[in-house]
Amino acid sequence: MKSYLFVLRKPAHSGAHVQEMLDIILTTAAFDQKVSILLIDDAVFQLKKGQHPENVGMKDTAAIFNALEIYDVNDIYTEIESLQERDVNDIYTEIESLQERGLKPGDLCLPVREFYRKDIAGLMKRFDVIFAG
């Protein structure tokens, strides 16, 4: 079994790309692979509570993230700076992404593991395959 890290950068409801990435994540996990997710930059908004995607004709990404546990996708990381900048089971977040966006871990729909930008390279070394999108 290989370990996969999916690095997401785009905000929720920014088009079909986000949904396509989530489909790839679910498909990979369905084949009993070890799947983790790292949310950086505006991707931290994908976990923000209180989204109303129906206003723009999109699906609620927070609901999809909540379903990941069924597929044994428990490691989700966020860049703390990305969450903070955007006012927004292991989910990894980059601490700086949170801070720069005015977000705190409590603003998210799932519990997250926070990482500083300087530590992301070390995190990535733990995976066999890295898929950026």
In order of start, what are the domains of the chain with their CATH numbers? 3-132 (3.40.1260.10)
Amino acid, single-letter form, for residue 16: A
Tell me which residue of 43, 36, 39 sits closest to 71, measured CA to CA: 36
pLDDT tens across 72-88, in order? Answer: 777 766 665 654 554 33
Q: How far is CA 5 from CA 29, 46, 50, 84, 87, in A?
A: 11, 17, 27, 22, 25
Name the token pair of 114.
């926070």
3-state secondary structure of 92: strand
Report yes or no on whether pTM surpasses 0.75. yes
Residue-wise pLDDT for 12-53, tens only, equals 766 677 778 888 888 888 888 888 888 888 888 777 777 766
Q: How far apart are CA 98 and CA 63, in angstroms?
A: 20
